[in-house]
A = this chain, B = another copy of it.
Amino acid sequence: MRDGSKTKELITATALRLFVEKGITETTIRDIAGAAGVAEGTLYCHYDSKDALAWDLFIANYLAFAGELDRVQEERLTVKTKLEAMIHKFCQFFDEDQVMFSYLLLSQHAQLKKVTPEMTTPVSVLLDVVAAGIARDEIPGQEPQAATAMVLGVVLQVAVFKVYGRIQPSLTSLADQLTAACWRVLEV
């Protein structure tokens, strides 16, 4: 109540958790306010609307993650090491903040309509690396979109299985295994 930013963070974190637990549409303002211990109106001191909250939560973190992916790939020279670094980053993100990772995953479909093509997203970063790898012949010639999809699928579906409790070990501990698998996928 003293520091407004504390309240905002509280609301944001609570909303994130509930969005993942119940879904965005299924989570009401009352749910969030109640779980955060603030009044319903308070939310509107920090966000214009529920949609704005969901969007902010999505896009800020989606782009930030894309930025991190981009940074780690830029620090590597070969496609193989770029891919390795990116997958490690994926796994690290998942392990450090599974709730946020899940949120990006599940809200992706709904929010993607509002993502403009010029934005740098995790997918576009991965696609650029894969496409460059093919262009530079570090990866056998193939359709970049399909190749990207397969690599992305390997990582994301393992994350989904982890969320569902089908997989026990941390993703980080599986990162090398995932990288190897992805690399084999790309070797045509």
Question: Which residue numbers of A lie inside 8 Å of B, CB to CB?
Answer: 23, 25-26, 106, 109-110, 112, 143, 145-146, 148-150, 152-158, 160-161, 164, 166-167, 174, 177-178, 180-181, 184-185, 187-188
Bound form: Cα–Cα A164–B121 in Å? 15
Cross-interface CB contact of A161 among B106, B149, B180, cutoff 8 Å: B149
Q: Which of A26, A110, A150 is the most central at the interface, judged by chain B CB atoms within 10 Å of its CB? A: A150
Bound form: Cα–Cα A172–B137 in Å? 27
> Mind listing 6 A-B residue pairs with CB under 8 Å?
A145-B166, A150-B181, A152-B153, A153-B155, A154-B185, A157-B157
- Which residues in B have their C-beta under 8 angstroms from that of A149? 154, 157-158, 160-161, 166-167
Given A181-B185, A185-B181, the answer on whether A150 and B154 have CB atoms closer than 8 Å is yes
Min distance, Cβ A10 to any Cβ of chain B, angstroms = 23
Cross-interface CB contact of A156 among B26, B143, B157, cutoff 8 Å: B157
Bound form: Cα–Cα A45–B98 in Å? 37
Min distance, Cβ A45 to any Cβ of chain B, angstroms = 12
Bound form: Cα–Cα A156–B148 in Å? 12
